[in-house]
Structure 1
Amino acid sequence: MVGISDVRKSNSSLHTRNDDYIAVFVGGTSGIGEATAKELAKVVKKPTIHLVGRNQAAGSKILAELKAANPEGTFYFIQSDVSLLQNVDKACSEIKQKEKAIDLLFLSTGHLAMSKQNTTEGLENNHALRYYSRMRFIHNLLPLLTASKTPARVVTILAGGQEGKIDEDNLDLQRSWSFAKAATYAATMNSLAIEHLASLHPSVSFAHVFPGIVRTPLMNKTMGSTLGSIMGFLSKPMSISSEESGERNVFISTSAAYPPAAPGDPANVGVPLAGGLKTSVASTGKVGGGSYVLNYDGANVAKEKLMSGYRAEEFPRRVWDHTLETFKKVFDPAL
């Protein structure tokens, strides 16, 4: 666990850096994504931030707040429903027109769907947001991530440490779906995919993070204002504010505690560690291995026995192969 004082000390040192810092937030118009973007805008001297989200009004409001917080920053909003992979490609194209490199890709899309519903592309809606859409952003933006001098980091906010048993014949959740199964599959596939991607792209680090219970509007949106308010009240002693969540996520996104497996410059892997902080163990069991499964407080929560079993059966690669095949089916249904 990383204490909040260490988090704030690490984040504050970002302001001493003169290098440009370019970040993309997918799901950045509410909750955890919004809070993290706002914290990054506060602590980085001259950031460029791209927010991707569905709500134009919310996006415009957050852009104004970011500009007010840091007049030296450059901020963009891309209105997009990223449950559709074709929209993901359009958003990525817009980003590529403006940037040659990206330092951070922060992914936090999703909602608590209580029933199965497919998108027009034939993917289960929540699974598209929690997994396929995120992986499509990574797939499309990897050339820009590998061009980073920072080096780059990918952070997917979902359910690190909550992986479980999955069936290779049901990776798309079309054969069998339940609320619990959807959560387990999304968590497990995120962790397996980033482990595989870290092996293919060792100059980029990847983290799958469980955000904890964060006081955001998500409960009200899912359960309704009355029940959501009750649940929010009951969970308050166990929860953290969105502001603290943002601070902790910026730390995970920038600290040298989570380096890539093979950085181009081992002396430049993030904010230097201080105060007894150590390099984290990756999901592979290797210190500094490039793919991290983390709790909200930055602690390693990888299920080593489970992940080792999946690795022995080459599931990281098989899950990624399935992902690429799914992309092909979406963009060419005749295949």
Structure 2
Amino acid sequence: MSTFLHSSNPPLSEIKATNSRLTAGNAPRNAVFVGATSGIGKATLTRLVAQQTPIKIYVIGRNAAKQQNFLDQLRGSNSQADIVFLEGEVSLMAEVRRVCDEIKGRESSLDALFLSTGYIPWGGREETSEGIELFSALAYYGRLLFVLHLLPLLKASTHNPRIVNLGGAGLETSKLLLDDIDLQKPANWSIGNLAAQIATAMSLTLSRLAEENPNVVFVFANPGLVVTNIYNQGYGGKWYMKAFVGIMKPAMKIVALSEADAGERCLYLLTSAWSGRDALTMMKTKSGALFSITYKFETVQWEGVMTESQRKDAGNKFWSRMQEVLRPYL
């Protein structure tokens, strides 16, 4: 039986206690982690493996040699864990397709997909070799390509399959630039516009996929402020931006959630060790729609800006653009 999120904010102590009760009966039997070689994804993966349940995990990253110590630690912490590292540059859609094809060639079902690739374009707009803006490739198009390729495996699971996508849930806006979805015009491009545009696009697109695949739980979660190495990259030649963020980081750390605690929260979302009593999806249902979780760890329903976005037919426009971009890689 699927279980769902509480609509109120559970204390961290409750989350940790619930996670500690994970067993082979309610933990995922296999999972794919994209973005787990650092930051929140790494903390979540570490916490899941430490629970000592039998599990096979595919970890997607760019360089296996650089991650060898981490992989050895994971394997050493749980003799029942089968950790498979697959090398891939997930900002490139062709690489995402190749990695997914390898997973599909090995597995007939999948219990969990965790997506947390992170990047902040402090240095301005940058495009991949495939012509996709880098932040959009990592935070939106690449993640959706993983979802679309691996959905058949998730649908084949009988073990409460779910997708957890970390991002800007709660940052959605009705002030959308639907005539320039990828913000290619210089006047439209900014970190703020990009974050709001992609948060809205992701909510609308995942909502559609959740409705079409009611047996898979879709979670779009905002982890809140967590000071990870995401703040150490993406500056390009803008040294002054790096200096400014460096000055702000000590103050940020005072109010930020630690990586370990963020990992506990994310494990809570990813697993079914907890029972859902009163949580509702964005459509105010118990299932068959997207669960959107704010940085306060509260669920969001379809109100305000999202209703206005629907009125503008934004969902269909984002969907059409997503299909156009990803079609060569499906």
Q: In which range does the TM-score fall when normalised by the shorter chain? A: 0.7 to 0.9
Residues 228 and 15 (structure 1), Cα distance of their counterparts in 2 relative to 1, 3 Å cut: farther
User: Does 1:211 find its partner at 2:223?
Assistant: yes
2:298 equivalent in structure 1: 299
Compute the RMSD of aligned alpha carbons: 2.2
Higher relative contact order (CA 8 A, sep 6+): 2
2:99 to 72, 78, 91: 91
Superposed displacement of residue 324, structure 1: 1.0
Superposed displacement of residue 285, structure 1: 2.9
1:72 equivalent in structure 2: 80
Separation (CA, whole Å) in 2 of partners of 1:20 and 1:286: 24
- Mind listing any 5+ residue stretches in structure 2 that lack a counterpart? 1-8
**Number of residue-to-residue matches in the alignment:** 313
2:109 equivalent in structure 1: 101
Secondary structure at the residue paired with 1:207?
strand
1:235-250 residue pairs with structure 2 within 5 A?
235-250=252-267
Separation (CA, whole Å) in 2 of partners of 1:251 and 1:19: 10
Residues 213 and 20 (structure 1), Cα distance of their counterparts in 2 relative to 1, 3 Å cut: closer
CA contact (8 A) 2:163 2:218 kept: yes
1:171 equivalent in structure 2: 181
Q: TM-score, normalised by structure 1?
A: 0.86
Deviations along 1:108-164, one digit per CA (max 9) or x if unpaired, are 113111211111211111111110000000010000010111221111111110011
1:157-306 residue pairs with structure 2 within 5 A?
157-164=166-173, 165-175=175-185, 176-222=188-234, 228-254=245-271, 270-273=272-275, 278-296=277-295, 298-302=297-301, 304-306=303-305
1:39-50 residue pairs with structure 2 within 5 A?
39-43=47-51, 45-50=53-58
Secondary structure at the residue paired with 2:23?
helix
CA contact (8 A) 2:28 2:159 kept: no
Residues 6 and 198 (structure 1), Cα distance of their counterparts in 2 relative to 1, 3 Å cut: same
* 319-328 or 31-40, larger mean C-alpha shift: 319-328
> Identity, % of aligned pairs?
32
Superposed displacement of residue 222, structure 1: 4.4
1:112-131 residue pairs with structure 2 within 5 A?
112-114=120-122, 115-131=124-140
CA contact (8 A) 2:52 2:80 kept: no
Residues 297 and 249 (structure 1), Cα distance of their counterparts in 2 relative to 1, 3 Å cut: farther
Residues 138 and 20 (structure 1), Cα distance of their counterparts in 2 relative to 1, 3 Å cut: closer
Secondary structure at the residue paired with 2:291?
strand
Secondary structure at the residue paired with 1:293?
strand
Residues 306 and 110 (structure 1), Cα distance of their counterparts in 2 relative to 1, 3 Å cut: same
CA contact (8 A) 2:281 2:300 kept: no
Secondary structure at the residue paired with 1:38?
helix
Deviations along 1:57-85, one digit per CA (max 9) or x if unpaired, are 34322211110111110001111111110
Superposed displacement of residue 217, structure 1: 1.8
Q: TM-score, normalised by structure 2?
A: 0.88
Separation (CA, whole Å) in 2 of partners of 1:124 and 1:215: 24
CA contact (8 A) 1:63 1:75 kept: yes
Separation (CA, whole Å) in 2 of partners of 1:54 and 1:15: 31
- Mind listing any 5+ residue stretches in structure 1 that lack a counterpart? 255-269
CA contact (8 A) 1:32 1:242 kept: yes
